[in-house]
Amino acid sequence: MCFFCNKVDSKNHGHHIVLYSEDGDASIGNMITLCPKCHREYHAGRLQIDIGRF
């Protein structure tokens, strides 16, 4: 299920909350799932993840 829109899709992507480039790890606690549309929107800067929630 997509973290943002709740869409269930077999093509959903795993996404690191804290990126590797920012010292994020590969643990399941650092992952969310995003549908392809929301993943593109996130990387385009149109969606924000509130890291304080985690």
pTM: 0.76
38-52 residue pLDDT tens: 999 998 999 988 766
The phi-psi region of residue 7 (left if phi > 0; otherwise alpha if psi is between -120 and 50; otherwise beta) is beta
- C-alpha separations of 43 from 10, 52 in Å: 20, 19
Q: Which residue in this structure is represented by tokens 């969606």?
A: 47
CA dist list (Å): 18 to 1, 24, 37, 39: 19, 5, 20, 14
And the tokens for 10?
């077999």
What are 5-46's pLDDT values in tens digits? 999 989 999 988 888 888 888 899 899 999 999 999 998 999
